[in-house]
Amino acid sequence: MPQRKCSVKSLKQSQKRRLHNLDIKTALRKTVKEYVETTKTDPAKAVGLLSLAYKKIDKAAKRNVLHKNTASRRKASLAKLLKATKA
């Protein structure tokens, strides 16, 4: 446990940020999982979920939870999945 006031405050801030980032990642994972399951059953409905997944990925990248190249790669793989199910 930190001794100095500034270190205590820094620890509290980092814990709060960690939980916030965890919430963002969890919501993203749930959305992507729902999208992947929907592409298998109903590709028409999956198009709407794809835009929602894109939105969450972009927000995570904007907030530095994900690196921008990681976000781009995930978006490409989701689009590729939808294209494969339509064909």
Could you tell me the pTM of the whole model? 0.87
* Helix-then-strand count for the chain, H and E: 3, 0
User: In the numeric block, which tokens belong to residue 66?
Assistant: 């994900």
pLDDT of residue 1: 86
pLDDT score recorded for residue 87: 73
Domains of the chain by start residue, with CATH: 5-86 (1.20.58.110)
CA 21 to mean position of chain CA atoms: 10
Per-residue pLDDT of the chain (87 residues; tens, 9 = 90+): 889 999 999 999 999 999 999 999 999 999 999 999 999 999 889 999 999 999 999 999 999 999 999 999 999 999 999 999 987
Please give the distance of CA 32 from its chain centroid, rounded to a whole number. Answer: 8
